[in-house]
Amino acid sequence: MTNPLPFFQDQSKDAARAFRIALKAMAMPGKIQNFQVIDGLPTPLSIAGATLILVFCDFNTKIFLGETFRNKNVEDWINFYTGAKISGDKNVDFAVGHIEELLPFHEFPIGTDEYPDRSANIVIENASKDVKSFSLNGPGIKETLHVELPEKIIERESAISFPLGVDIFLAKENFVMGLPRTTMVET
Amino acid sequence: MSNSEEDFNFAYLDEQTKRMIRRALIKAICIPGYQVPFASREMPMPYGWGTGGVQVTAACLQETDVLKVIDQGSDDTTNAVSIRKFFERVAGVKTTENTGKASVIQTRHRIPEQVLSEDQILVYQVPIPEPLRFLEPRETETRVMHALEEYGLMHVKLYEDISINGEISTAYAYPVKVNDRYIMDPSPTPKFDNPKMNFCSAIQLFGAGREQRIYAVPPYTKVISLDFEDYPFEASRAEKTCEICGATNTYLDEVVIDDKGTRMFSCSDSDYCNSQKS
Ligand SMILES: [Zn+2]
């Protein structure tokens, strides 16, 4: 990996811009935000998935990867750019994968009564596959939103008992949508 | 290349610190009103000068931002000016005094009178983040109280206030309940500002440097001031008119205007006041 960085040319400024997009995604659930396009990513990592890893992960972070993401290219890339530890189990801060590789969500940390923040951020890749229409309500949502989400997203219920829960980013190409634990998802 | 400006990382903090703060900010947004611990860094200004707010702002700022800094509603106090200059220098961002033109507003003790938008972030400087602190000084205990939603004492305290004073005398840092769950300290803003937090369009972020806490309220979130059926919350203000712009609906400061001690009421939000007079 001696080539110049194909992305985050100016790490500090690019990370700041990307963080703001991620913040907006979580602050306004159900609305699609888009990250700056970057290339040179190891398959099957999306731009959104990779950007979220770059923004939030470092050597203090443990990452769980779904089956199809567990390849040398992805692992080397994460290791090289973030130093994050790839974990074999689900006791992690961060997870990336296709939805069926991440279920059941309640196996990830959901926080404790006193520290509900000690919970995982989950990135669901390829989030436009097998979708179905859901209505969303909760903080950050002005009026009920109707959006297409992976139909298995409903299984997130088992990992949420507010204030405990997992927080989800839905990723596809350079698009991202936030689904914090506060969002009520109904069919 | 040697230029003193280049010695700083963008927005002063190193990338790892910003990542740590950003992780805390995301959790704060996902758990509205809950205080997320974070490892506060030394900033080139003393505690009490808004080091918590400054760190939150530093972790949020992007190149294209336009920053406004207010202290008690004014853009011109030493504190506001020094924070504004600091970010001009370390992040190269544009600054403004115009509320409508700002994308990030760092504030001490006020919420602007002008209604904020979805494209704005309001960063509060917080001295004491724990609303239960004066009831229970031990952090381990207040954490349990929040975990169990054990908020009865807070209501008892407010009710004692009523029995002694005939009304709830708390005028600043008046406690609120966020998203029907956590009781939160809105920072020492006057209670007049509390209703502005409810269903606000902007993202509200709170940083306490010395106490190492970050908390947040996402847009369109229920923020209700604690009260009682027989003593409903009142967003009180001085029953006067601003003597500069004539506003009757703003929060007013009483200021001394000459050496004879003559007093005058005027808007605490100086940008709002300037925009009203014409
Ligand atoms: Zn005025």
Tens of pLDDT along B174-223? Answer: 999 999 999 999 999 999 999 999 999 999 999 999 999 999 999 999 99
Contact B22, A94 (CB under 8 A): no
| Contact between A39 and A54 (Cβ < 8 Å) | no
CA pseudo-torsion sign A53, A59, A64, A66: positive
Measured between beta carbons, the chain B residues lying within 8 angstroms of A27 are 29, 203, 218-219
User: Which residues of chain A does B29 touch, with a Cβ-Cβ cutoff of 8 Å?
Assistant: 23, 26-27, 140, 180
pLDDT at B253 (0 to 100): 93
Do the chains contact at B30 and A15, CB–CB below 8 Å?
no
pLDDT digits (tens, 9 = 90+) for A21-63: 999 999 999 999 999 999 889 999 999 999 999 999 999 999 9
pLDDT score, position B108: 95
Cβ of B36 within 8 Å of Cβ of A117? The answer is yes
Return the ∠ at Cα A109 (arms to B56 and B130), rounded to 5°. 40
pLDDT at residue A178 is higher than 80: yes
Percentage with pLDDT > 70 across chain B: 97
Measure in Å the smallest separation between the Cα of B92 and chain A Cα atoms: 11
Cα-Cα end-to-end distance for chain A: 46
Find the mean pLDDT for residues A96-125. 98
Give residue B161's pLDDT: 84
Half-sphere exposure of B226 (CA within 13 A, CB side): 27
With 70 as the cut, is the pLDDT of residue B278 above it? no
Tokens of B170: 């708390």
Q: Is the pLDDT of residue A10 over 80?
A: yes
The CA distance from B111 to B123, in Å, is 10
Q: Which of A3-7, A147-151, B235-239 has the lowest mean pLDDT?
A: A3-7
pLDDT band, very low/low/confident/very high, at A4 (cuts 50, 70, 90): very low
A112-126, A139-153, B220-234: lowest mean pLDDT where?
A: B220-234
Does pLDDT of B224 surpass 70?
yes
* CA distances for A107 relative to A119, B53, B91, B264, angstroms: 11, 35, 41, 62
User: Which of A6 and A96 is assigned the larger pLDDT?
Assistant: A96
- The pLDDT of residue B254 is above 80: yes
> How much of chain A exceeds pLDDT 90, in percent?
90
pLDDT at res. B47: 74
Min Cα distance A83 → chain B (Å) is 12
DSSP per-residue string spanning A79-139: HHHH-PEEESSS--SEEEEEHHHH--GGGS-B--SS-TTSB-EEEEESTTSSEEEEEEEST
Mean pLDDT across the stretch A154-175?
97
Over residues B63-113, the pLDDT tens digits come to 999 999 999 999 999 999 999 999 999 999 999 999 999 999 999 999 999
Least confident of A161-165, B48-52, B109-113, B124-128: B48-52
Nearest to B10 among A13, A119, A181 (CB): A13
Angle between helices A11-27 and B15-30 (to 10 degrees): 0
Residue B3, pLDDT > 50, answer: no
pLDDT at B1: 37
Question: Any chain A CB within 8 A of the CB of B93?
Answer: no
A23 contacts B34? CB cut-off 8 A = no
Interval between CA B271 and ligand 1 midpoint (Å): 9
For range A90-110, the mean pLDDT = 98
Residue B178 near residue B221, CB atoms below 8 Å: yes
Q: What is the pLDDT of residue A7?
A: 67
| Residue recorded with tokens 């306490």 | B208
Structure tokens at A87: 């974990």
Residue in A24, A56, A142 nearest the CB of B22? A56
Active site residues of B: 33, 242, 245, 267, 273
